Amino acid sequence: MADLKVNIANVEFANPLIGASGTVGFGHEYAEFYPLSTLGGISCKGITLKARPGNPPPRIAETPSGMLNAVGLQNPGVEHFVQEDLPWLKQQGTVVIANIAGSTPEDYCEMAERLSDTDVDMIELNISCPNVKQGGVQFGVTCEGVESITSQVRRHCRKPLMVKLSPNVADIAENAAAAEAAGADAVSLINTLTGMRINIQTHRPILHNNTGGLSGPAVFPVAVRMVWQTAQRVKIPVVGLGGITRWQDAVEMMLAGAAAFQVGTAFFTDPYAPVKILNGLKQYLDENKITSVTELTGKVEPW
């Protein structure tokens, strides 16, 4: 049987499947379906320095082959996470990634400092959330912004640091290079694409926030392209995400250059999606006599 272990920034994952931030919460709900050790890791719901109620509803909208969300980083705050959620998560036998978001560089730095004193395995720097009025995405749209916020957080972060990048930019590979230059240990991409739906009866946007983040199968080809471009540009590991719903998608993402991958929206339509993806991935590796999943990374052969 093929070896599924991967290593990202000196953190060992039992397999390359990570639950994407914002879709698996803090893991409690999915632990009712299967042991969380089934997953290679969990990137927890994005946390902020203080608790946030999120955006007012409606904040979810269906769209062909995907969904729009404008939840707005609803979360209980970093101290609640450290005191209440993290101790339970650390007993689940999976890698725990703390996803952090903020309105100011000081917010990010304070959280990185606080979380560096805990048992989280890695910190994912969310500078790409399009669903809040301030913070997050404002740092992630230019190379200068990415490099500045990453370098500031790096000085306070004693855990492996992964920077989550926005696709709503001119050149995501250049932004990844900026994160690498500023000390990032890995990058994850893509976060959601900004989208909008309108109610044709009321003539109002369906989402109270007007716009939201598009995720699901609709974004998958964009994610594959951006991961491929980024993997050619940087030397640090690339974690690929965006629309992965089947094991075939996972293989494709790794061939494009991903060292590991995150599954998000698929959790909503099928809680067992990650189990099916991993089973399919194992079978594919065995049928093709591939001894380690790491052999897939970056093996695409362009024309």
Q: Which residues pair with 122 in a beta bridge?
A: 97
Q: Rounded to an integer, what distance in angstroms lies between the CA atom of residue 160 and that of residue 177?
A: 17
Go through the chain and tell me how many residues it has: 303
Catalytic residue, candidates 44, 129, 143, 157 = 129
Tokens representing 181? 């230059």
Q: Rounded to an integer, what distance in angstroms lies between the CA atom of residue 289 and that of residue 277?
A: 18
Q: Rounded to an integer, what distance in angstroms lies between the CA atom of residue 285 and that of residue 278?
A: 11
| Catalytic-residue membership of 109 | no
Give backbone dihedrals phi and psi of 241, rounded to 5 degrees, phi first: -155, 160
Q: Among candidates 301, 176, 303, 159, which has minimal Cα distance to 234? A: 176
Give backbone dihedrals phi and psi of 35, rounded to 5 degrees, phi first: -60, 140
CB 263 within 8 A of CB 19: yes
Q: Where are the beta strands (DSSP E) in 148-234?
A: 161-164, 186-189, 193-195, 198-199, 204-205, 212-215
CB 298 within 8 A of CB 231: yes
Give backbone dihedrals phi and psi of 27, rounded to 5 degrees, phi first: 90, -15
Q: Which residues pair with 19 in a beta bridge?
A: 42, 263
Give backbone dihedrals phi and psi of 294, rounded to 5 degrees, phi first: -65, -20
Active site residues: 129
